[in-house]
Structure 1
Amino acid sequence: MTHTQRAAALDAADPLAPHRDEFLLDAAPAVTSYLDGNSLGRPLTATPAALDTFLRQEWGGRLIQGWTEGPHGGWMDWPTQLGDQIGRVALGAAAGQTVVADSTTVLFYKLVRAAAAAGHAEGRDEIVCDTDNFPTDRFVLEGIAAETGLTLRWIETDPASGITPDQVRAAVGPRTALATFSHVAYRSGHLADAAAITRVVHDAGALVLFDLSHSAGSVELELDAWGVDLAVGCCYKYLNGGPGAPAFAYLATRHQGTHPQALRQPVQGWMGHADPFAMGQGYQPDPGIRQLISGTPPIVAMVPVRVGLDQLERAGIAAVRAKSTALTTFALDLADDLLAPHGVTVATPREPEARGGHITLRRSDFRDVTAELWTRGVVPDFRTPDGIRLGLAPLSTSFTEVLHGVLALQEIVEATR
């Protein structure tokens, strides 16, 4: 069977293929192969209509009354309403533990500061992280360390293999307040063993926080079952919420309200108050997940997020994960057959259970090759120093699209070797 025949057969047998028609595929006619869904998902055809309805009927029609009434309930409830939906369809989290607000960076800051304060009360003054974690996470940690005097303990990780439970076990101890890692490594696509890492961190008496930005909507998550304490993630990748879409934060019930392990986030805004409209003196945090909200929620930006979540709920995360594994397997097979003879290597784990929804290919000239691919309508992305990432979004990416992109890459590397 040729690669073309295999791609066609996989597309024909794909139970998620009808969902591809729900995307605005014709909006970018010059793009013939979009392989960057792990950076920015495509818009859905339902999104423009949903935004128009919101602008005309909810914002325009109800004006200020929209905060308390509407077809999806009042806007005041959207952060927790969408949070519960994300928890249900993507995170393996029961209601009341997830909220949509702010950006990933801001929510990450809030959760780290809350965890660090709790650790400080117990004489714990270290945060553990790995050197290849996503830059914003590392930068936020550096800033928090500078303002609080906390010590950062770095784990040196191989970008091709990612963080492991054994590495975490060797780094955490009685001084550890928090350990934080990306569940799927942004550079290589390595999928961390979150359950095992959580057990290791808890055995040391510390809290664990996972960045799920490259996980949510692509791999199956079980935050409650794993015992995860804290998590953050964005909504503009596999959840298709659009550029700058608000992020989500997960705070386990045991860390809310008056529970003995309750945390308190540092950005005390009026929307996180137990009674936002009391307008009184003194701050009293909401006893539930709303305590993570600070300022007025980005309501308009939540409209596309709702559309993306509705689609994911219809598709089912198990089916999405199955196709994600099939897509990455197909891409790796193509890389071995078509690209390896031209000096291209793979920086992503071969085992399906050890990788997320994207694969990374390496060659020294891939920065220039990426630019050439873009001129041909093939859109992956580049990550320093020498990696091209193929981000394969299961709901919008076809196997034929993957083949088209890899064939274009093969043509370029053959000519430039």
Structure 2
Amino acid sequence: MSKVKFTTHHGMVDILPDEVKKWQFLERLIHGEAEKFNFEEIRTPIMEQTELIIRGLGQLTDIVSKEIFSFSRGDDNYVLRPELTAPVVRAYVENHLDQRGGSQKLYYIGPMFRAERPQKGRQRQFHQFGVEVIGSSDAVADAEVIAFMVNIYDKIGITNTTLKLNSIGDPESRKAYVEALKNHLKPNFDKLSDISQKRFENNPLRILDSKEEEDQPFIESAPVITDYLNDESVAHYIKVKQYLKDLGISYEEDPYLVRGMDYYTQTAFELISPDLGAQDALAGGGRYDLLVEEIGGQPTPAVGFAAGMERLLIACEELGIPLGDEKTVDAYIVTLGEEARSWGLSKLPELRKAGVSATMDYMGRSMKAQMKDANRENALYTIIVGGNELQEGKFTLRNMKESDEGSYTFKEILEKLVSS
């Protein structure tokens, strides 16, 4: 009888130790930069109520209509979170974070889930990092969120980027533009792609996101939303652009840039890199002043962005950007015999307490096999211990990079490792 072979779910992958090291490097960088910007980390459950996601994303978005993992337990309906803006806002409302005073500057790193067709850089379980600033309508908040986003990629070394910028206005401006866009598209409705025809009545702005070849002539000749902004929206957009100039952040205005979720208003932005070919998007976001009220809070302005971790890792690989140093361990204790093995095990806590990373063989192998394992672990030093060394109280410390060695007491070895 053959053994059962288990595999990961379709579109979900294991992140193995060699890859985890790269993830940890990026996560440390994001945490460090967030601290400099005075953003605070927030962590929410991976499951949320279905109604929250529907309200947050909009019933007619692709995510809600066909890409969420949903299930029920009793009378409760849940989804695995497909994004984190709505959950963060839910946490803001539920936990009365407005009572902390001032705007809440929050960031996150975590897994998301979408039941879409897996492709390079987008699995069914994927990971995002992002920022949400809740409670400020000032254009300074927009500029700071964008500055943080751009700064992350600069720090990593992805510097050949373009910031695309637009305003989709407030609900009044948006309503006027949607009407103009539909009037523009209607005479050629039959020539639009099937997906754009489906979006026409209930979500026409998403047609501007279309990559279908037959839609492009009508998108290129479409009216631009900035011509339909009211005075308040124009003023906000002007301030955002001025603050970006103050920060030394260049941008390119894209009048057809829209966001796919219903809660966005005013500023919309996206960071792309021409070095990455057709799949050039790195991060995107915008202002969403309607969402807090939509999910039960008081009217509250907010702005944020999200970026894919897998996409970032792919970009680093394609651009040849190293992520962290090569894995090393400071000391590997090589033991000969059971007494030496007990001694080595007893010394590991002392080494680690002193700040020295240390390990030893777990399999009772020969000295040759242990030295080979030390090389595989990229050990900087080996401490070689046998019966003679235990009797003399002096042990061989070998520098694995320079291939030299000496005999020292354990105290002397500890001092050398700490100071190296």
TM-score by length of 2: 0.28
Larger Rg: 2
Q: Which has the higher strand share?
A: 2
Greater RCO (CA < 8 Å, at least 6 residues apart): 1
